[in-house]
């Protein structure tokens, strides 16, 4: 029996549709793998949930957090970093996967204190043109341990930071806040 020409055309059309679906599924799988790789190792978006970083960052801001640079050098004073909560915050009920965002104030070996409305680093007042208002509570001098950081929010009087829960281990650092992409009227590098 000789196949009809219409049957051959239908078979070719079915094969063409199947190949198209197959190609689309492969492209989707590749896109998902790339997205997973980029988010895990290179950069990821984050949402600012509180006012602790005012006036630099506002509630609702959306950022890109880059994850590469800290593989080559540690965070430096002034960097705005995103991190997983340290053990003390987890003991207080914060989930391990809830990200925090603060500014690095002290690096390992440095001494941080707060007095008379100023933050001091190694006995010298920091020039902080980025804070909402001067801190209203003193904080006795502390030396930052090796592989840890002292972090504070820019909204000094409304920030759950190292003054209340201690030092941030380097291993908890996710990355550096690099770019604000929302809202559009404040888009730009941080």
Among the listed residues 69, 73, 100, the one whose alpha carbon sits nearest the alpha carbon of residue 172: 100
With contact defined as beta carbons under 8 Å apart, do 139 and 151 qualify? Answer: no
For tokens 């020409």, name the residue.
5
With contact defined as beta carbons under 8 Å apart, do 148 and 169 qualify? Answer: yes
Residues near 8 by beta carbon (within 8 Å), at least 6 away in sequence: none
What are the catalytic residues?
A: 52, 102
DSSP 8-state secondary structure symbol assigned to residue 73: S
For tokens 């190609």, name the residue.
23
């Amino acid at each position: 029996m000789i196949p009809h020409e219409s049957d051959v055309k239908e078979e070719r059309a079915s094969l063409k549709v199947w190949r198209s679906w197959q190609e689309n599924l492969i492209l989707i799988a590749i896109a998902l793998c790339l997205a997973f790789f980029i988010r895990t190792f290179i950069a990821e978006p984050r949402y600012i949930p509180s006012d602790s970083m005012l006036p630099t960052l506002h509630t609702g801001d959306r950022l890109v957090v880059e994850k590469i640079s800290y593989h080559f050098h540690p965070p430096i004073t002034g960097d705005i970093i995103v991190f997983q909560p340290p053990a003390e915050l987890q003991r207080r009920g914060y989930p391990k996967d809830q990200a925090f965002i603060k500014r690095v104030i002290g690096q390992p070996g440095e001494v941080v204190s707060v007095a008379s409305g100023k933050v001091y680093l190694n006995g010298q007042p920091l020039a902080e043109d980025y804070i909402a208002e001067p801190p209203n509570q003193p904080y006795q001098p502390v030396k930052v341990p090796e592989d840890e950081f002292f972090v504070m929010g820019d909204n000094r009087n409304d920030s759950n930071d190292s003054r209340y829960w201690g030092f941030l281990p380097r291993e908890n650092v996710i990355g550096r806040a690099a770019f604000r992409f929302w809202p559009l009227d404040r888009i730009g590098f941080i």
